[in-house]
Amino acid sequence: MSEKKVNKIGILTSGGDAPGMNAAVRAVVRTGLYHGLEMFGIMRGYSGMIDDDIYQMDSRSVANIIQRGGTILKTARSKEFMEPEGRKKAYDNLRKRGIDGLVIIGGDGSFRGAQKFSNEFDIPCIGLPGTIDKDIAGSDFTIGFDTAVNTAVEAIDKIRDTADAHDRLFIVEVMGRDAGYIALHSGIATGAENILVPETKTDIDELINSLTEKEKRKKLVNLVVVAEGDEYGGANELATIIKKRLPQADTRVCILGHIQRGGSPTCLDRLIASRMGYHAVECLMNGKHNVMVGIVNNKMHYTPLDNAIKAKQTIMKEWLKIVKILAS
């Protein structure tokens, strides 16, 4: 990879939206402008790059967006970009504008596309981890995770009131197809009795015994938080099993769904998105190319894109032990 000087930077958001993406876009654009660079917004991720849906951005382009959820640049998943012809078309559109650097805000699928594109066309790329799942290694937090967890906590707290009033067992499903961080954090924060995540095998007998024992102790509230990617397929499937094994339990299901993706980002998400966006531009200017910008122990951390793609954030066993002890 050559370390040529970057003059024009394109920015895009790709994959699932996450609160704080707008704060990151704002930081990238204004940092680039401060250094005298030309900044370009690419609409709908890699699809916009292929369709030439690209426009030049100034400081006003990112005014009044730091508090908004979603992404002003829109987002999409592009099958065409997976093919060499699609990537060539995207490159031609960048070249005619002179765009010689990219900042990609998204998850590992977005980074995979960036890595392949950069290798083929020698365009330096910087990745910012924008995903509510917090499943990318190389950063303690991903943009959007804190907001998603706080949204889940607020909802589960309200469900707890109803569970308490009716002596019901509530099974709450949160997002997390391959990663259980939202379930883990929101479950601990709301005092859930059981938390089921994709990273660990669910012992259904142990779960039933736990719920039976708590019922005997006349525990006031029973909450089970389950990630959508749990091996039993989520809350509805789990509820069916529990109703058969514990017919005396008044069991209800609540699926939080896409409410977790939206909403105004928390202070933490705005701060890390702003910090990462600033450093993304610094990386491009200083020749640090093809890395993901993260924050580890409150310090900037740079992970090569190919490592960020391969490595996954793993749940520490200590967390699972804490869950078991605090729910006893």
Dist CA 66 CA 69 (whole Å): 8
| pLDDT over 60 at 36, yes or no | yes
Indicate the class that CATH gives domain 8-144+265-310.
alpha beta
pLDDT at residue 34 in the model: 98
Q: Where in the chain is the domain with CATH 3.40.50.450?
A: 8-144+265-310
When the pLDDT of each residue in the chain is averaged and rounded to a whole number, the result is 92
Mean pLDDT of 297-306: 95
Q: Is the pTM of this model over 0.75?
A: yes
Annotated binding site for Mg(2+): 108
Cβ–Cβ contacts within 10 Å for residue 162, how many?
13
Q: Could you give the residue numbers annotated as active site?
A: 133
What are the tokens at 45? 């991720």
Annotated binding-site residues for ADP read 26-30, 160, 191-193, 217, 219-221
Q: What is the number of other CB atoms lying within 10 angstroms of the CB of residue 271?
A: 16
145 class by beta-carbon count within 10 Å (0-12 exposed, 13-18 middle, 19+ buried) = buried
In this predicted model, what pLDDT tens digit does every residue of 76-101 receive, in sequence order?
989 999 999 999 999 999 999 999 99
Write out the CATH class of domain 146-261. alpha beta
| 104 pLDDT above the threshold of 70 | yes
Distance, in Å, from the CA atom of 41 to the CA atom of 117, rounded to the nearest integer, reads: 18
Reply yes or no on whether the pLDDT at 219 is more than 70: no
Give the Cα separation of 224 and 197 in Å (integer). 11
Query: When comparing pLDDT for 229 and 76, which is higher?
Result: 76
Q: Given pLDDT bands bounded at 50, 70 and 90, which one contains residue 1?
A: very low
User: DSSP per residue over 40-82, as a string?
Assistant: EEETTHHHHHHHT-EEEE-GGGGTT-TT-SS-TT-----SGGG
Q: Where in the chain do CATH 3.40.50.460 domains reside?
A: 146-261
Residues 6+ apart with CB under 8 A from 148: 18, 19, 132, 175, 182, 260, 261
DSSP state of 143: B
Going by the annotation, the residues of the binding site are 16, 26-30, 77-78, 107-110, 131-133, 160, 168, 175-177, 191-193, 217, 219-221, 228, 252, 258-261
Give ∠ CA 21-22-26 in degrees, rounded to 5. Answer: 120
For the segment 159-194, what is each residue's pLDDT rounded down to a tens digit? 999 888 888 899 999 998 888 999 999 999 999 988
Identify the residue with better confidence: 319 or 262.
262
Report the alpha-carbon distance of residue 244 to residue 168 in Å, rounded.
Answer: 16
CB 26 within 8 A of CB 86: no
- CA 8: distance to chain centroid? 27
Percentage of the residues of the chain whose pLDDT score is greater than 90: 71
Region 115-137 average pLDDT: 94
Task: State the Cα–Cα distance between residues 278 and 24, nearest whole angstrom.
Answer: 8
